[in-house]
Amino acid sequence: MKLFRRHKHPHGPEMLDCEAVMQQLWDYLDEELSPDRMAAIQSHLAMCARCYPQYEFERSFLTALDRAQQEHSDPAGLRDRVAGALRAEGMVEI
Protein backbone atom coordinates (compact mmCIF):
# COMPACT_ATOMS: atom_id res chain seq x y z
CA MET A 1 0.00 0.00 0.00
CA LYS A 2 1.38 3.35 -0.97
CA LEU A 3 1.92 5.95 1.73
CA PHE A 4 0.02 9.18 1.41
CA ARG A 5 2.53 11.92 1.98
CA ARG A 6 1.93 15.58 2.53
CA HIS A 7 2.77 17.53 -0.63
CA LYS A 8 4.03 21.08 -0.40
CA HIS A 9 3.15 23.49 -3.17
CA PRO A 10 6.20 25.64 -3.99
CA HIS A 11 4.39 28.44 -5.87
CA GLY A 12 1.21 28.93 -3.86
CA PRO A 13 -1.98 26.95 -4.25
CA GLU A 14 -3.30 26.07 -7.71
CA MET A 15 -7.09 26.23 -7.74
CA LEU A 16 -8.93 23.19 -9.08
CA ASP A 17 -12.65 22.59 -9.40
CA CYS A 18 -14.39 19.43 -8.16
CA GLU A 19 -14.67 17.95 -11.65
CA ALA A 20 -10.91 18.20 -12.22
CA VAL A 21 -10.24 16.65 -8.82
CA MET A 22 -12.63 13.76 -9.47
CA GLN A 23 -11.00 13.05 -12.83
CA GLN A 24 -7.56 12.83 -11.23
CA LEU A 25 -8.45 11.28 -7.91
CA TRP A 26 -7.01 7.86 -8.66
CA ASP A 27 -3.84 9.37 -10.13
CA TYR A 28 -3.59 11.32 -6.88
CA LEU A 29 -4.09 8.24 -4.72
CA ASP A 30 -1.44 6.43 -6.78
CA GLU A 31 0.93 9.42 -6.45
CA GLU A 32 1.32 9.60 -10.22
CA LEU A 33 0.88 13.38 -10.58
CA SER A 34 3.41 16.20 -10.54
CA PRO A 35 4.26 17.64 -7.07
CA ASP A 36 2.35 20.83 -7.93
CA ARG A 37 -0.78 18.94 -8.92
CA MET A 38 -0.50 16.63 -5.90
CA ALA A 39 -0.38 19.70 -3.64
CA ALA A 40 -3.30 21.36 -5.44
CA ILE A 41 -5.52 18.30 -5.07
CA GLN A 42 -4.49 17.88 -1.45
CA SER A 43 -5.48 21.51 -0.76
CA HIS A 44 -8.81 21.03 -2.52
CA LEU A 45 -9.60 17.84 -0.59
CA ALA A 46 -8.82 19.52 2.72
CA MET A 47 -11.48 22.15 2.03
CA CYS A 48 -14.12 20.39 -0.04
CA ALA A 49 -16.97 18.63 1.78
CA ARG A 50 -18.10 17.06 -1.49
CA CYS A 51 -14.79 15.60 -2.68
CA TYR A 52 -13.25 14.53 0.62
CA PRO A 53 -15.77 11.70 1.28
CA GLN A 54 -15.13 10.44 -2.25
CA TYR A 55 -11.39 10.45 -1.52
CA GLU A 56 -11.91 8.53 1.74
CA PHE A 57 -14.15 6.05 -0.05
CA GLU A 58 -11.58 5.31 -2.76
CA ARG A 59 -8.72 5.20 -0.26
CA SER A 60 -10.59 2.65 1.88
CA PHE A 61 -11.27 0.60 -1.22
CA LEU A 62 -7.56 0.53 -2.16
CA THR A 63 -6.65 -0.42 1.41
CA ALA A 64 -9.16 -3.28 1.27
CA LEU A 65 -7.69 -4.49 -2.03
CA ASP A 66 -4.20 -4.42 -0.59
CA ARG A 67 -5.32 -6.45 2.43
CA ALA A 68 -7.18 -9.03 0.36
CA GLN A 69 -4.13 -10.59 -1.23
CA GLN A 70 -4.33 -14.34 -1.31
CA GLU A 71 -1.44 -16.04 0.47
CA HIS A 72 -0.08 -19.48 -0.33
CA SER A 73 -1.04 -22.15 2.22
CA ASP A 74 2.39 -23.82 2.11
CA PRO A 75 5.09 -21.34 1.01
CA ALA A 76 7.90 -23.53 2.38
CA GLY A 77 6.63 -26.50 0.35
CA LEU A 78 6.53 -24.41 -2.81
CA ARG A 79 10.02 -23.07 -2.13
CA ASP A 80 11.32 -26.65 -1.79
CA ARG A 81 9.60 -27.62 -5.00
CA VAL A 82 11.10 -24.70 -6.93
CA ALA A 83 14.54 -25.38 -5.43
CA GLY A 84 14.30 -29.04 -6.46
CA ALA A 85 13.35 -28.11 -10.02
CA LEU A 86 16.27 -25.66 -10.23
CA ARG A 87 18.71 -28.28 -8.91
CA ALA A 88 17.45 -30.71 -11.54
CA GLU A 89 18.13 -27.95 -14.08
CA GLY A 90 21.76 -27.79 -12.90
CA MET A 91 21.72 -25.02 -10.32
CA VAL A 92 24.33 -25.71 -7.66
CA GLU A 93 24.16 -22.72 -5.32
CA ILE A 94 20.76 -23.24 -3.72
Partner 1 sequence: MNDETDAKRDRDRAFQREALVCLADVTRYALALTRNEADADDLVQETFLRAYRSWDRYEPGTECRGWLFTICRNQFLNSRARAQREVALEAPELEARQAAMVHDTVRNSPLEETWLRADLAPAIQRALGELPEVLRSAVILVDMQDMKYDEAARVLEVPVGTVRSRLFRGRRLLQEALLTYAQDAGYAPSDTQADRGSDR
DSSP assignment, residue 33?
S
Closest to 37 in 3D by CA, of 47, 25, 51: 25
Whole-number Å distance between alpha carbons of 43 and 41: 5
- Pick between residue 15 and residue 76 the one whose CB is nearest to partner 1: 76
Residue selected from 7, 16, 25, 39 as contacting partner 1 according to rule CB under 8 A: 25
Number of amino acids touching partner 1 (CB under 8 A): 41
Closest to 4 in 3D by CA, of 40, 27, 30, 25: 30
What part of residues 32-61 is at the interface with partner 1 (CB under 8 A)? 32, 53-54, 56-58, 60-61
> Of 9-17, 41-49, 63-71, which segment contacts partner 1 by CB under 8 A?
63-71
